[in-house]
Chain A
Amino acid sequence: MKTKIGVFICNCGGSINNIDFDAAGAKVAKAPDVTCVKSISNLCLEEGKKKMLSCIKKENIDRVVVAACSPDFQEHFFRQVLENAGLNGHLFSMANIREQCSWAHEGDVTVKAVELIKMAVNRARLLQPVKKKKFPVNKEVLVVGGGFAAINAALQLSRAGLRTTLLEGEAVLGSETGELGSLCGFDISSMMSEVEGDENIEILTSAEVRAAAGKIGDFTIRIRKGGDETSHRYGAVVLATGYQTKLALENELKSNVNIVSQKKLCRMLEDPNLEIRPRTIGFMFDFPDENSRLSTLATLNNALAARQKWDSEIYVFCKSVKVDSPGAEKLYREARDCGVVFLKCEARPRITADNGRVKIEAKDVFLGEDTILACDLLVAEELLLPSEGTEALSSLLNIRRDSRGFYQDENVHLYPVASEKKGIFFSGGCRGELDLSRVLTDVSSVVVSGYELLSSGNILADVERVKADPQKCVACLTCIRVCPHDAIQLVRVDGGKEVAEIFDLACDACGICAAICPAKAIIFQGYRDEEILAQIETIGES
């Protein structure tokens, strides 16, 4: 069947004044398959679009070319006109005769405008429709983790009407969260009883993920709990596995009882039976790496508590105090006001044991002098690391990690909680050093993302916008390796041959696979080789 192409040329209210529209229209009209050429002033306004719509219907046009401004401004709305006329929005091609032609040159540019329009016509002739379809999705969510972020995510997801499974490796939920709660003033036990009483939340403790398959809307996760392994299906997966801290001091000092972690100090502060209260306490942070947002907060909170409870003398050694979290500057001021001494050092202090005490030697930049301090207790600097199992889980789910091993190597869409793989989200400390208010922000973001994806039970998406031709595919795996969204996998077709298949829901239509496929087996609608070549071939014809 012959295509009928309609060309609509806009003079942009007269601001395109170096093109002879009548001559251009006449030349374009001679191009093969062009059924009608209309010059419409102000095509982008309501009246312009109306004229375009009625012309498409009257002339039975099945491909549309618009020659006007940059597609940046109006392309979306013109596609809408096609849809309103009952045409597929992908059967549309645009020629930019304003920014890239009229406004870019002095003098008459009719020849160039005609070439641009002809290129668009040649492309339009070959365009194919892309249908949309509602893909059904599983409405359950899996939350991996059992700490503050995970419990809150499960509670809020359930409130938003999504059934949630909470999967925790430990035997109980929240086992690592107690100290955090007392430090930051929330009650983990009430959260836990709420989560346990929620019918919409299934809790799997002492459980782990063994295998994962599937894509957004339908993940199949193999879970081992006790001796059993079972498969479960979820529409989305939320990772909220948190972080762990590790003392950064040399091994021989780790055994020194006077050197403790922030967590240990927390427990000491809570202990009513503590016999000896340390008179002098040193804190250290910001030396091994300068990611000490959380160490700063822990130090400020613990220093204040020790000052108030024990009346200890407190010295903090650091490079920079990281006050870039809500309320941190206030805490810093409060700590200084009540007598906590901050010593800023460029180099890491030297730590030695000294008659049962810890000797800290440092050069304070403000005093400009070497300072020697013997303290009863040193709260040592801590490194923030991804929690155990992060690496294993990331390889099971096939998602990348950043240079420090945390989830989310580079946030391609800068959507705070998204992974590169649609349907998998991160929340909280597993993606970096986030204070509690940022963790809660993450949790809410995850909940609304889950709600958006799953609440209606289906997702509207393009069908086969990008498709691998099973005849041409040689299963070289190149596309699978380059796909940033993990949207391609091998499937067996009739005859036992394995070929690449692109999952419409997981695909982001970035086109990388189509560009790289050595067998030219991948078809990207709108950017197929023949469409691009047809545009190039027409250059210079006139």
Chain B
Amino acid sequence: MENNDVLVVGSGISGVAAALELANAGVNVYLLEKDVVVGGHSASFCCKATDICSKCSACVVLDKIKEAVIHPQIRLLTNSTIRRFSGEVGNFRVEITQKPQYIDQERCIACGLCTEACPTDPKAVYAPPAEATPFSYILDEKLCLRFKGEKCDLCRKGCPTKAIEFELKPKEQELSVGAIIVATGFDVFDARKKGSLGYGRYSNVLTGLDLEQIFTREGYLRLPASGEEPHNIAFIQCVGSRDEDHDYCSQVCCKYAMKLAGLIKYQNPDALVTIFYIDLQTAGKGFAQFYEEYKESIRFVRGVPVEILQTASGELEVRFENISQGKVCRDTFDLVVLSVGISPGKNSWDLARILGINLADDGFFGTDDSLNSNETNVDGIFLAGTCQGSKDIPDSVAHGIASASKAIQRLIEFASQR
């Protein structure tokens, strides 16, 4: 029996874009997500608009996620992973394990009464991040007294919709689908691996992702250590890109660093912003214009520092090679932002093994044939987004849509051969 349903693995922006495209073309879609909320990394990125839109695409992500969640032809499977897989194009069978969520997403009305009732500190049941979809409360097994063997029942009693259930076991189910789209995304490079840059040791060294989340949640930038407004900020590019271990450009860091720098300058025009770089990646629709606008107000320094030290007064001393003077210089900053890059997902290897698809040399899915970036070595399994290689949001959306197109074309072809 041939099957025209499609499984999309991963609900980041490319997975969501693929799912929406398929669903709008009349295909039934299963959208699988290993986390409890949909959206992946890009859902937590901040809007970088000043007086005008900086076209960072962060808002598009939330719109698309919402559209996907309410789409009648998309079935969402959160907290789920693939356990086993067999079959071939037109007739794949995929076994899924869904971890218990304890709070039924369809019954949770996000009233917050469970959190009020919870006696632990920090609370074991809490609201999801503001941007989360579905906006359903989360029960943390590690904090909940119930899972420590106690008989606490306060949140369940307090829940007006009876959405909380403790005695749940992982749910197994088998899906049968005609094609699979893998859109498992990326891992942010762990800046702790570059020990000399002090991330994790100095509180005023942040990553680009930290900054995104600070702007999303707080709306403005303050120093993590003192709560004061930073005046002298440095961005260090290519942290976890273009080095011995990463033979590629992450494609997003120059853009987000400059747009975040623009946002900082907008909120505090007196702030000094320095960007240390190897090569500026200013190509891309509309971005060259943005760069022209900020070229004068941001200090660009060629060459990336290798060491950051904290001075006695808590400032950060950055040592870098001043190329124009040909010597080593020291500059102090209140805040250093490491523009961390895109690394291959650490779960990619497991999925590659289960599905039998290849990983390329750099750890991303796929082959080195850049002209067939949606295809894998398994007929009927396609790739979307950053699990195939680094991409920015518009490129991820485009790649997701393209993978949907490939899946539809393959299923049409498959049907006509029968």
- Give the interface of A toward B (CB within 8 A): 12-15, 41-42, 44-46, 69, 73, 76-77, 156, 159-161, 184-186, 289-293, 319-330, 333, 344, 365-366, 368, 402-403, 408, 410-411, 413-417, 431-433, 435-438, 440-445, 447-449, 451-452, 455-456
Task: Given A14-B160, A290-B280, A326-B370, decide whether A448 and B404 contact each other with a Cβ distance below 8 A.
Answer: yes
Contact A323 B281 (CB under 8 A): yes
Point out the residues of chain B lying under 8 angstroms from A322, CB to CB: 279, 281-283
Point out the residues of chain A lying under 8 angstroms from B160, CB to CB: 13-15, 41-42
Q: Does B409 contact A (CB under 8 A)?
A: yes
A184–B93 CA distance with the chains assembled, in angstroms: 37
Point out the residues of chain B lying under 8 angstroms from A186, CB to CB: 371
Chain B residue with Cβ nearest A435: B370
Contact string against A for B residues 124-164, beta-carbon threshold 8 Å, 1 for contact and 0 otherwise: 00000000000100000000000000000000000111000
Contact A448 B401 (CB under 8 A): yes
Point out the residues of chain A lying under 8 angstroms from B397, CB to CB: 414-416
Q: How far is the CB of A145 from chain B (nearest CB, A)?
A: 19
Point out the residues of chain A lying under 8 angstroms from B248, CB to CB: 323, 326-327, 329-330
Q: Does B271 contact A (CB under 8 A)?
A: no
Point out the residues of chain A lying under 8 angstroms from B284, CB to CB: 293, 324, 432-433
Q: Does B192 contact A (CB under 8 A)?
A: no
Q: How far is the CB of B377 from chain A (nearest CB, A)?
A: 18
| A-B residue pairs, 8 tightest by C-beta | A13-B160, A15-B111, A448-B405, A444-B402, A293-B283, A416-B398, A320-B279, A444-B405
A443–B397 CA distance with the chains assembled, in angstroms: 14
Q: How far is the CB of A97 from chain B (nearest CB, A)?
A: 13
Point out the residues of chain B lying under 8 angstroms from A416, CB to CB: 394, 397-398, 401
Contact A432 B398 (CB under 8 A): no
Contact A437 B371 (CB under 8 A): yes
A447–B326 CA distance with the chains assembled, in angstroms: 53
Contact B323 A368 (CB under 8 A): yes
Point out the residues of chain A lying under 8 angstroms from B249, CB to CB: 323-324, 328-329
Contact A333 B247 (CB under 8 A): yes
Q: Does B302 contact A (CB under 8 A)?
A: yes
Contact B109 A451 (CB under 8 A): no
Q: Does B350 contact A (CB under 8 A)?
A: no
Contact B412 A161 (CB under 8 A): yes
Chain B residue with Cβ nearest A322: B283
Task: Given A292-B283, A329-B249, decide whether A445 and B161 contact each other with a Cβ distance below 8 A.
Answer: no
Contact A447 B405 (CB under 8 A): yes
Contact B113 A291 (CB under 8 A): no
Q: How far is the CB of B398 from chain A (nearest CB, A)?
A: 4
Chain B residue with Cβ nearest A323: B249
Contact for A414 among B60, B106, B111, B413, CB less than 8 A: B60
Q: How far is the CB of B291 from chain A (nearest CB, A)?
A: 7
Point out the residues of chain B lying under 8 angstroms from A451, CB to CB: 25, 405, 408
Contact for B399 among A160, A415, A441, CB less than 8 A: A441
Point out the residues of chain B lying under 8 angstroms from A45, CB to CB: 106-107, 109, 161
Chain A residue with Cβ nearest B393: A414
Q: How far is the CB of B215 from chain A (nearest CB, A)?
A: 20
A301–B284 CA distance with the chains assembled, in angstroms: 20
Summed over the interface, the residue pairs from A and B with CB atoms below 8 Å come to a total of 177
Query: Interface range on chain B: under 10, 10 to 19, 20 to 34, or 35 or more?
Result: 35 or more
Q: Which of B88-118 contact A (CB under 8 A)?
A: 106-107, 109-113
Interface majority SS on A: helix, strand, loop or mixed?
loop
A433–B284 CA distance with the chains assembled, in angstroms: 7
Task: Given A416-B394, A438-B398, A445-B398, decide whether A290 and B283 contact each other with a Cβ distance below 8 A.
Answer: yes
Q: Does B251 contact A (CB under 8 A)?
A: yes
Task: Given A160-B409, A451-B408, decide whether A440 and B402 contact each other with a Cβ distance below 8 A.
Answer: yes
Q: Does B374 contact A (CB under 8 A)?
A: yes
Point out the residues of chain B lying under 8 angstroms from A408, CB to CB: 285
Point out the residues of chain B lying under 8 angstroms from A73, CB to CB: 110, 135
Q: Does B373 contact A (CB under 8 A)?
A: yes
Q: Does B86 contact A (CB under 8 A)?
A: no
A449–B17 CA distance with the chains assembled, in angstroms: 12
Contact for A411 among B21, B279, B285, B370, CB less than 8 A: B285
Contact B408 A326 (CB under 8 A): no
Contact A365 B283 (CB under 8 A): no
Provide a sorted-by-A list of 16 A–B residue pairs whose CB atoms are within 8 angstroms.
Answer: A12-B109, A41-B160, A69-B109, A76-B70, A159-B412, A160-B408, A160-B412, A320-B282, A323-B248, A324-B284, A365-B324, A402-B285, A414-B397, A416-B394, A432-B284, A445-B405
Contact A290 B398 (CB under 8 A): no
A328–B370 CA distance with the chains assembled, in angstroms: 10
Contact for A344 among B285, B302, B413, CB less than 8 A: B302
Q: How far is the CB of B111 from chain A (nearest CB, A)?
A: 3
Contact for A159 among B24, B277, B368, B409, CB less than 8 A: B409
Q: How far is the CB of A427 from chain B (nearest CB, A)?
A: 11
Contact B109 A324 (CB under 8 A): no
Contact B405 A440 (CB under 8 A): no
Chain B residue with Cβ nearest A433: B283
Q: Which of B11-40 contact A (CB under 8 A)?
A: 21, 24-26
A301–B145 CA distance with the chains assembled, in angstroms: 62
Contact A291 B281 (CB under 8 A): no
Contact B323 A365 (CB under 8 A): yes
Q: How far is the CB of B124 from chain A (nearest CB, A)?
A: 19
Q: Which of B282-299 contact A (CB under 8 A)?
A: 282-286, 288-289, 291
Point out the residues of chain B lying under 8 angstroms from A431, CB to CB: 285
Q: Does B73 contact A (CB under 8 A)?
A: no
A529–B283 CA distance with the chains assembled, in angstroms: 46
Contact A448 B323 (CB under 8 A): no
Contact B405 A291 (CB under 8 A): no
A122–B398 CA distance with the chains assembled, in angstroms: 44
Point out the residues of chain A lying under 8 angstroms from B216, CB to CB: none
Contact string against A for B residues 242-282, beta-carbon threshold 8 Å, 1 for contact and 0 otherwise: 10000111010010000000000000000000000101111
Given contacts A293-B283, A323-B248, 5 further A-B contacts (CB under 8 A): A76-B70, A320-B280, A416-B394, A433-B284, A441-B398
Task: Given A329-B242, A416-B397, A448-B408, decide whether A290 and B288 contact each other with a Cβ distance below 8 A.
Answer: yes
Contact A327 B405 (CB under 8 A): no
Most B-side CB within 10 Å, residue of A292, A322, A403, A448: A448
A416–B406 CA distance with the chains assembled, in angstroms: 16
Task: Given A291-B288, A437-B371, A440-B373, decide whether A320 and B281 contact each other with a Cβ distance below 8 A.
Answer: yes
Q: Does B240 contact A (CB under 8 A)?
A: no
Q: Does B380 contact A (CB under 8 A)?
A: no
Most A-side CB within 10 Å, residue of B285, B302, B399: B285
Task: Given A290-B282, A291-B288, A451-B25, decide whether A42 and B161 contact each other with a Cβ distance below 8 A.
Answer: yes
Q: Does B358 contact A (CB under 8 A)?
A: no
Point out the residues of chain B lying under 8 angstroms from A289, CB to CB: 288
Q: How far is the CB of B315 from chain A (nearest CB, A)?
A: 28
Chain B residue with Cβ nearest A408: B285
Point out the residues of chain A lying under 8 angstroms from B70, CB to CB: 76-77
Q: How far is the CB of B11 from chain A (nearest CB, A)?
A: 18
A411–B370 CA distance with the chains assembled, in angstroms: 25
A438–B25 CA distance with the chains assembled, in angstroms: 22
Point out the residues of chain B lying under 8 angstroms from A432, CB to CB: 284-285
Contact B413 A448 (CB under 8 A): no
A326–B110 CA distance with the chains assembled, in angstroms: 43
Q: Does B389 contact A (CB under 8 A)?
A: yes
A54–B57 CA distance with the chains assembled, in angstroms: 42
Contact A445 B247 (CB under 8 A): no
